[in-house]
Chain A
């Protein structure tokens, strides 16, 4: 148990929706969510398929602990082939949608094919309908959720949808659920749009059961108490993830103006203290914190914009509360583009939620466009008359809206930094790995994080490895490959459980084991869980190798390999990737050209692949 042992398979080309048993043999090897969806993806599509074509498969995947009383049990992942990278995409989200899918009786929703006309899925337990989306197509995420709840007279519906960005193929469009939680990265929303699928609306009444409720609740109580006591948890609750911006500023690892600098002079205007401060006009950015389903951390921010701010002074519809700044958004709309106007950042954040696209990739692409503008490669003729100088808050807010609506220069920004910079003949300006833009950690100052960026299966991503503590202690690459590899495997397991990575503020593998072992059939040891994590990592790698993403793509932009950090604790450093990477391959049991060896495949039970 834990699992519902049922998959809903929808084929949009044929217009069919059928329930089938969950493959428990695979579940025992890959757990659930990210890992199990990777296995389903690998077995259900050709990795060479066009990510925006009907042969791509889009999987909404919960884990065995999703919808249970474990803290942070609201997670689900969207797994598909990503259009931004051409690699496997696995984007994870909280909110309440994932748990609701599970309550309707399904571990997974697998979407195949492409609908002839825009449709949405309406799922209430066993009743599944594929319905025309005419009245919501072309509208925002926020409108879509409101219309579907009203149309079906069901305020309890949970909705995951795409905005116009996803419909029109912004390559980093995301799937947004519950208004402001998102499966944000790698363009999973663009894939949904390519299938003409606007939304999934679900309500479930079936509940989730666990194998041993008494032992499970004991583990839940103990692990919740650990979180309650944890200082890291307390910081997340009180300050949100944006607490990181002050750490990165002090350390000198905060990418600024497209990685020209690693410390930003305006940080204190966009940090958690700024969000909490009441201005002379009585306005405070932060309203409250908010939890995802089951979460006893509640790092989510609910904020609002000063109603006299230029962005909304004539737009009363945005005088609302909505999802506020978390670290990656604050970094990508602040230091990375040189803007220090907290209301402008918050407005741009609203745009990403309302129209459904990834703030990290948007910020990275806008930063690259700003550099091209400063270089004179593009001018106001290209940018709809907007001055794309670093630090211009209007450039941020206008382009955020244009990108969300896929209008004017927003269409170019929607390509992502790699394609945009290639188009203008300056690929060196694009800061990305495998086509995906960086989260807010400079690879020259945080060496282990940099190795993780270079080797991440979905391109530059901060959520698939955690070498943070080691990096803060030592600014060189020495000894980093091991914790990088180990954390990648550990996190692959956590991402497959249905719980949130942020619980690691207080939990180790043992805390996950206790809950998984009490909830799921079979005996789940630490070794088994970590080996599942390693198996997942390797299968993602195999998917990518078959898709044509190889060792040559395990790299960092030239700027991080050659241009030394100008300030901070790592002043003078460049990335040590060239020395870390061979050691990493060796630790992984991969050949020099980054392929899992026969022995490695055999050890992980992956002989049939590779």
Chain B
């Protein structure tokens, strides 16, 4: 079973625990500027939305890379950047339609979400359940359920 990150923006408080957990895992420091997941705030903080790579099955970044530095982890399904192969040409950052692979000037390589090898630290750190790591087949289950209730009404208890 593959799992994927599920994001429920309605629960996000914009605390950035996820950004710190991500940067600690990948750089050894608390450094939101180097986080691969980002929180975006709208309307003076009335809405905060986490956003990161969704691990496309046919990944633009992987196909665009001229040195084959990006490969698919067959266990987690994550597209991973091999830093020793990456030459920092940034073609993948142009190819990605979502902007979720980015160049890191500190080391001259690109960085993207790699699902932390199957135990994503962002989900572990999130205090509100806005980011969870769930069965990839059913990422829409809770949302479908809530819409089912909103469309047809919750049954009254007997």
A71–B17 alpha-carbon span in the complex (Å): 8
Partner of B15, one of A180, A206, A207, A294: A294
A289/B13 contact (C-beta < 8 A), A156-B33, A205-B106, A224-B127 known: yes
Is B2 on the interface with A (CB-CB < 8 A)?
no
Is A230 on the interface with B (CB-CB < 8 A)?
no
A302/B33 contact (C-beta < 8 A), A69-B125, A228-B127, A293-B16 known: no
> In the complex, which residues of chain A have a beta carbon less than 8 angstroms from the beta carbon of B23?
207
Closest CB in chain B relative to A149 CB, distance in Å: 12
Closest CB in chain B relative to A581 CB, distance in Å: 41
Closest CB in chain B relative to A501 CB, distance in Å: 17
A302–B47 alpha-carbon span in the complex (Å): 9
Is B32 on the interface with A (CB-CB < 8 A)?
yes
A204–B106 alpha-carbon span in the complex (Å): 13
Partner of A209, one of B16, B28, B34: B28
Is A346 on the interface with B (CB-CB < 8 A)?
no
A293–B16 alpha-carbon span in the complex (Å): 6
Within 8 A of A (CB), among B7-65: 13-17, 20-21, 23-24, 27-34, 43-48
Is A179 on the interface with B (CB-CB < 8 A)?
yes
Of chain A, the residue at the smallest CB distance from B15 is A291
Residue with the greatest number of chain A CB neighbours at <10 A, chosen from B17, B23, B28, B128: B17
Is A278 on the interface with B (CB-CB < 8 A)?
no
> In the complex, which residues of chain B have a beta carbon less than 8 angstroms from the beta carbon of A203?
33
Pairwise interchain contact A290-B127, C-beta atoms closer than 8 A: no
Pairwise interchain contact A290-B45, C-beta atoms closer than 8 A: yes
Pairwise interchain contact B43-A320, C-beta atoms closer than 8 A: yes
Closest CB in chain A relative to B69 CB, distance in Å: 23
> In the complex, which residues of chain B have a beta carbon less than 8 angstroms from the beta carbon of A224?
127
> In the complex, which residues of chain B have a beta carbon less than 8 angstroms from the beta carbon of A206?
29, 31
Task: Bin chain B's interface residue count.
Answer: 20 to 34
A294–B30 alpha-carbon span in the complex (Å): 11
Pairwise interchain contact A290-B14, C-beta atoms closer than 8 A: yes
Pairwise interchain contact B33-A205, C-beta atoms closer than 8 A: yes
Is A213 on the interface with B (CB-CB < 8 A)?
yes
Task: Bin chain A's interface residue count.
Answer: 35 or more
> In the complex, which residues of chain A have a beta carbon less than 8 angstroms from the beta carbon of B48?
290
Pairwise interchain contact B44-A302, C-beta atoms closer than 8 A: yes
Pairwise interchain contact A207-B44, C-beta atoms closer than 8 A: no
Of chain B, the residue at the smallest CB distance from A353 is B44
Residue with the greatest number of chain B CB neighbours at <10 A, chosen from A71, A217, A302: A302
A14–B145 alpha-carbon span in the complex (Å): 64
A302/B27 contact (C-beta < 8 A), A292-B15, A294-B17, A296-B127 known: no
Pairwise interchain contact B20-A321, C-beta atoms closer than 8 A: no
Of chain B, the residue at the smallest CB distance from A210 is B30
Pairwise interchain contact A69-B17, C-beta atoms closer than 8 A: yes
Pairwise interchain contact A296-B29, C-beta atoms closer than 8 A: no
A206–B31 alpha-carbon span in the complex (Å): 7
> In the complex, which residues of chain A have a beta carbon less than 8 angstroms from the beta carbon of B32?
99, 103
Pairwise interchain contact B29-A321, C-beta atoms closer than 8 A: no
A96–B33 alpha-carbon span in the complex (Å): 13
A294–B20 alpha-carbon span in the complex (Å): 8
Closest CB in chain A relative to B44 CB, distance in Å: 5
Of chain A, the residue at the smallest CB distance from B40 is A155
Is A67 on the interface with B (CB-CB < 8 A)?
yes
> In the complex, which residues of chain B have a beta carbon less than 8 angstroms from the beta carbon of A292?
15
A601–B127 alpha-carbon span in the complex (Å): 44
Closest CB in chain A relative to B27 CB, distance in Å: 6
Is A285 on the interface with B (CB-CB < 8 A)?
no
Partner of B44, one of A68, A96, A180, A296: A180
A208–B29 alpha-carbon span in the complex (Å): 5
Is A514 on the interface with B (CB-CB < 8 A)?
no
Within 8 A of B (CB), among A187-218: 203-210, 213, 217
A103–B23 alpha-carbon span in the complex (Å): 12
Of chain A, the residue at the smallest CB distance from B10 is A288
Pairwise interchain contact B33-A296, C-beta atoms closer than 8 A: no
Where the two chains meet, the residues of B that have a C-beta atom closer than 8 Å to any C-beta of A are 13-17, 20-21, 23-24, 27-34, 43-48, 106, 125, 127-128
Where the two chains meet, the residues of A that have a C-beta atom closer than 8 Å to any C-beta of B are 67-69, 71, 96, 99, 103, 156, 179-180, 203-210, 213, 217, 224, 228, 287-296, 298, 300, 302, 304, 320-323
11 interchain pairs (CB within 8 A)? A68-B20, A103-B33, A203-B33, A205-B31, A206-B29, A288-B13, A290-B13, A293-B16, A294-B16, A298-B13, A321-B46
